[in-house]
Amino acid sequence: MKRLENRIALVTGASAGIGEATARALAAEGARVLLGARREERLRTLEQEIPGSKGLVFDVRDPAGMAQALAGALAPGETVDLVVLNAGMARGAGPLQEGNPEDWSEVVDTNIKGVLHGLHVTLPAMLTQGSGDVVFLGSVAGRWVYPGGAVYCATKAAVRAIYEGARQDALGSGVRFTTVDPGMVKTDFSAVRFRGDEERAAAVYAGVDALTPGDVADAILYAVTRPAHVNVGEIVLWAAAQASVTAVTRR
Ligand code: 8X3
């Protein structure tokens, strides 16, 4: 028997990177996985590759769109009982005084409101059911601030606060809450941050054995496959080559 049989999972930001790897890992353990993301074409490809998966096209910044997509994917009486709130991004890495409000809004709306919207469309039903897992994708950036990271770090600190608050508000419900907080992971995170400047993005990971999306998916899988009385609260995951948000060793 696979460990997540009979579970229905929703993964946000599932079209690539950590979200995609997590969707694959959950499906391999028998979960039926709903893949939430904006890029429809990418979702249709993943649907073919991940058994039992279904792509839901939505933007986490739009709560009504999320609710509608989810409602269309669930039969009456079905409940998402595992949600991985992964969608997140950064824009730029310059000093705060050089940042611009449009970038700030995009990052704040995606990383903070997007997580709240994901909770809004899944948590009430889990509470009614009396079981489920909520996994937040935090970051070491939510624990330690680095130069040029003020806004991104602030959003990940907010995710950590939401995790702590949700656990307390749902105490006794049977729903478990986990935050997985990775350091450097080799994904398109930096390409998005630097708006497609591949050279600059590549420099972030140059000579570093960074974490892979699969490493993070492994940590998530560990948390959600513990016995019901165990709640893995917080996992901080570093590459062996990284000792702090500013200390990285390169070959
Ligand atoms: C991403 C990790 O250190 O690049 O969450 O901000 S970092």
Closest CA to 14 of 115, 120, 88: 88
Closest Cα partner for 162 from 209, 111, 121?
111
pLDDT of residue 153: 98
What integer pLDDT is reported at residue 167 of this predicted model?
98
pLDDT of 157 reads: 98
Report CA(67)–ligand 1 centroid distance (Å): 29
Mean pLDDT of 58-86: 98
- What's residue 154's pLDDT? 98
pLDDT in the model for residue 189: 95
**Ligand 1 atom nearest residue 153's Cα:** 6
> What domains, with CATH codes, occur in the chain?
8-237 (3.40.50.720)
| Mean local confidence (pLDDT), 38-44 | 97
Pocket of ligand 1, candidates 107, 245, 248: which has the most ligand atoms within 8 Å of its Cβ, to mutate? 245
Q: What band does 247 get if pLDDT is binned at 50, 70 and 90?
A: very high
For range 5-17, the mean pLDDT: 98
Among protein residues, the one with the nearest Cα to ligand 1's atom 5 is: 139
CB atoms within 10 A of CB 23: 30
The model's pLDDT over 97-121, given as tens digits with 9 standing for 90+, comes to 999 999 999 999 999 999 999 999 9
3-class DSSP assignment, residue 236: strand
Percent of the chain's residues with pLDDT above 90: 100
- pLDDT, average across residues 116-143: 98
